[in-house]
Amino acid sequence: MEVALAAGTLRHAAAHALLDAGAAAEVAPGMYFSTLPEPIGVAGIIVPWNAPVVLLARSLAPALAAGCTVVAKLPAQTALTNALIAEVVSETGVPAGVVNIFTESGHGGAELLVESPDVDLISYTGSTSTGRRIAASAAHTLKRLTLELGGKTPMVVFGDADLDAAVPLLVAGVTAFAGQFFMAGSRVLAQKAIADELCERLRRGLLDVNVGPGEDPNSRTGPLIDRASVERVDALVDEASSYAKTVVRGGPVADGPLAAGAFYRPSLLEVERTDVPLVQQEVFGPVATFEVFGDEADAVQKANATEFGLAAAVFSQGLSRGRRISREIKAGTVWTNTWDVVHDRFEEGGFKQSGVGRLRGHLGLATFQEIKTHVQIASPSWG
């Protein structure tokens, strides 16, 4: 999936670059204005471990299309993948020094990119807390930032939703990538009329999920990134038992051949309040909350009740309701009757504490450009 998405992103950016020629007009007799996009310069790209191929391509493609050189920092957790990416880049014929890739287990190299006056832009995907630190460190050079940060995607299910279509997406929302990505559908909001039925369907769906290694075709969710994450996620679920009703108590796989890995079965917990940690914090694991709402206003209020605003989903057979609720939810992407669908022609990014700037689409390319305005007045000698 990552390779296919990355290839499409690269092709789209290459085609898009040919269309971006600026604008020109004669604003008064003999007075000509024109704009010309120029590359911003050196782009520093900081990539997380959860999807290193596609998230590198998402910033690398528009950077190259704009004419920038790139220094990309990739995480140590995906070192083998990083080495393969570097090998592929070296075989493409890109001139030496245009794309520079390094891997580190700490943050020293990334901090150098952020603080260096020789780096003109930072494109970072990662946690909100780290995004804040990057913004503070980059302030003294006033370099441009594009930050796609954390998310807590509400999946809002109305009483008229097609549950046969919605439930598989809700299950996938919390189990794809084992819940380790910013658009994970980690909050299920159900209208009261269908809450009991939906909760039961979700319970059965999550219990049926096969946990296992990615190369096993029967697996529907894989491991967490490491055993420390297993312990962290399990501690959050344990803590939540003081304020939430446990519908499905997943947990570490403790027996059989998977016990030596970092495998974690999905959990579902019903909560009544939105100010509890499991609602307000990213879990980055296969754990979802189940919340009940009354009318549309209640749904919107609960959907907007966190500091995050990366994505949301609305399930309803009423097209007008889908449009209406989408306008009210404060998120950069809102899906109706689907989830986790992106297209390179359309922008992606967050509201509120979920980020600054946009990737993909026209703005994704413009992020890596400076726009210079040329003004020319006709000389009398021109005749």
Domain span(s) for CATH 3.40.309.10 in the chain: 154-336
- φ/ψ of 188, rounded to 5, equals -100, 120
The DSSP H or E segment spanning 19 is: helix 2-19
Which amino acid, residue 198?
Answer: L
Both tokens of 375, joined, read: 């003004």
The answer to whether 312 and 330 are in contact (CB under 8 A) is no
For 163-182, the pLDDT digits (tens) are 999 999 999 999 999 999 99
For 280-306, the pLDDT digits (tens) are 999 999 999 999 999 999 999 999 999
Per the prediction, the chain carries an average pLDDT of 95
Give the integer Cα–Cα distance in Å for 300 and 304: 6
The answer to whether 123 and 367 are in contact (CB under 8 A) is yes
Both tokens of 278, joined, read: 């499991």
**Taking 60 as the threshold, does the pLDDT of residue 217 lie above it?**
yes
DSSP characters for 322-354?
Answer: HHHHHHHS--SEEEES--S---TTS-B--EETT
Fold of 2-149+354-380: Aldehyde Dehydrogenase; Chain A, domain 1 (3.40.605)
For 239-270, the pLDDT digits (tens) are 999 999 999 999 999 999 999 999 999 999 99
Q: How many CB atoms lie under 10 A from the CB of residue 352?
A: 16
Can you count the helices (H) and strands (E) in the chain? Answer: 12, 20
For 73-114, the pLDDT digits (tens) are 999 999 999 999 999 999 999 999 999 999 999 999 999 999
Q: What percent of the chain has pLDDT above 90?
A: 95
**Taking 90 as the threshold, does the pLDDT of residue 379 lie above it?**
no
Q: What is the CATH number of domain 154-336?
A: 3.40.309.10
Give the integer Cα–Cα distance in Å for 103 and 154: 34
Average pLDDT over residues 119-143: 97
Angstrom CA distances, 239 to 246, 265, 283, 292, 332, stand at 11, 17, 12, 21, 31
* Pairing relationship of beta strands 267-270 and 287-293 according to DSSP bridges: parallel
Residue whose tokens read 């967050």 = 350
Domain span(s) for CATH 3.40.605.10 in the chain: 2-149+354-380
Kindly state the DSSP code that residue 364 receives in the 8-state scheme: H
Kindly state the DSSP code that residue 94 receives in the 8-state scheme: P
Both tokens of 62, joined, read: 């528009």
Both tokens of 124, joined, read: 């970072």
pLDDT computed for residue 17 by the predictor:
85
pLDDT computed for residue 381 by the predictor:
65
Residue whose tokens read 């658009």 = 183
Give the integer Cα–Cα distance in Å for 213 and 178: 11
Residue 312 CA, chain-centre distance (Å), reads 12
Give the integer Cα–Cα distance in Å for 190 and 276: 18
Residue whose tokens read 């302030």 = 139
Which amino acid, residue 106?
Answer: G
Reported confidence tier of residue 382, pLDDT bands at 50, 70, 90: low
